[in-house]
Amino acid sequence: MPTIHFEEIQCYNPRGIRDDVRLSAACDGHDRRTIWGPEQMRERSEIDLTSRCDPVVYYDTASIRLSGDFGFNFGSMHFDRHSDPGGNEFFFPGDLNSRYRVAYRIDPQPVASTHGRIRLIRLDCNDAQGTHDEISLRVNGAYVLNRHVMRTGWYVNFDDDRYEFPFNSACTITLSESYLEDWGRSFTLRVGEYRVARYEHEFALDAGISGDARYTLAYRMLE
């Protein structure tokens, strides 16, 4: 997981008298986000980015864009897992003779972090234990579902920000059933042991007193 650290931006020539510029990043197919700005720059101005621009951590690919007023695109620089580490610089030519320089360095190791974030997507009942189950789902002890009725083929969509959970170091997700037979299954995610991507986990009970059960939880790790 390489990390891009931004050090400085320099304006050689703005499009007009001044530009309101920003840097944004899109990594590994995810939506673009602003990592610095907008800030006003004039000819020959320089801004130290070492403590003002978020470092960018990526797995496979990263695209860094410099944009100006009204979303004008000065250009983009692109990285992959094979990009050269160390100090580098990139020149954004833009148009109308505009020109910017960004200095950065690539660290092949990621910024150490103890924080993570998970977003629940969907829970599917592949095989209820009886004609119906009463399911509870918890994230680090907090109830997302509490004795929610589920039948084979039913599902629950988690389709808003209430189902996004930050956590420190580790996140434990527990699914339990309490209608026919008290049982539960858990799994734990730890910071640094996963990629930013979509996953599925199967909760399974084999040969329970009241029969088998299968549930699948789809979720996305956000950081």
Global pTM value: 0.51
On whether both 89 and 182 belong to a single domain, the answer is no
What does the block give as tokens for 108?
Answer: 């092949």
On whether both 27 and 79 belong to a single domain, the answer is yes
Q: Containing domain of residue 89, as a range? A: 3-107
On whether both 86 and 183 belong to a single domain, the answer is no
User: What confidence score (pLDDT) does residue 190 get?
Assistant: 84
On whether both 34 and 91 belong to a single domain, the answer is yes
Average pLDDT, the chain: 87
Summarised one tens digit per residue, pLDDT across range 133-146 is: 999 999 998 899 99
User: What confidence score (pLDDT) does residue 114 get?
Assistant: 66
On whether both 93 and 174 belong to a single domain, the answer is no
On whether both 93 and 120 belong to a single domain, the answer is no
The most confident of the ranges 20-24, 70-74, 93-97 is 20-24
On whether both 78 and 58 belong to a single domain, the answer is yes
What is the total count of domains within the chain? 2
Any idea what the CATH number is for the domain that residue 58 is in?
2.60.40.150
First CA to last CA across the chain, in angstroms?
A: 12
Domain-terminating residue out of 107, 135, 152 = 107
What does the block give as tokens for 84?
Answer: 């050269």
Domain-terminating residue out of 107, 135, 159 = 107
Higher pLDDT, 87 or 27: 27
Summarised one tens digit per residue, pLDDT across range 144-193 is: 999 999 999 999 999 877 899 988 888 999 999 887 777 889 999 888 77
Alpha helices (runs of H) in 44-98, residue ranges in sequence order? none
Which residues on adjacent β-strands are paired with residue 199?
219
On whether both 7 and 96 belong to a single domain, the answer is yes
Backbone phi and psi for residue 143, each to the nearest 5 degrees, phi listed first? -75, 130
On whether both 131 and 82 belong to a single domain, the answer is no
Amino acid in position 219: Y
On whether both 188 and 91 belong to a single domain, the answer is no
Q: What integer is the mean pLDDT of 11-31?
A: 88
Any idea what the CATH number is for the domain that residue 159 is in?
2.60.40
User: What confidence score (pLDDT) does residue 119 get?
Assistant: 93
Which residues on adjacent β-strands are paired with residue 101?
10, 91
On whether both 92 and 137 belong to a single domain, the answer is no
On whether both 123 and 99 belong to a single domain, the answer is no
Domain-terminating residue out of 55, 74, 107 = 107
Q: How far apart are CA 9 and CA 64, in angstroms?
A: 13
Summarised one tens digit per residue, pLDDT across range 98-117 is: 889 999 999 886 555 667 88
Kindly state the helix (H) or strand (E) to which residue 77 belongs, with its residue range: strand 73-80
Summarised one tens digit per residue, pLDDT across range 37-89 is: 899 999 999 999 988 888 888 888 999 999 988 778 889 999 988 888 777 89
What does the block give as tokens for 30?
Answer: 């995810």
What does the block give as tokens for 196?
Answer: 């930013």
> SS3 for 85?
coil
Higher pLDDT, 149 or 33: 149
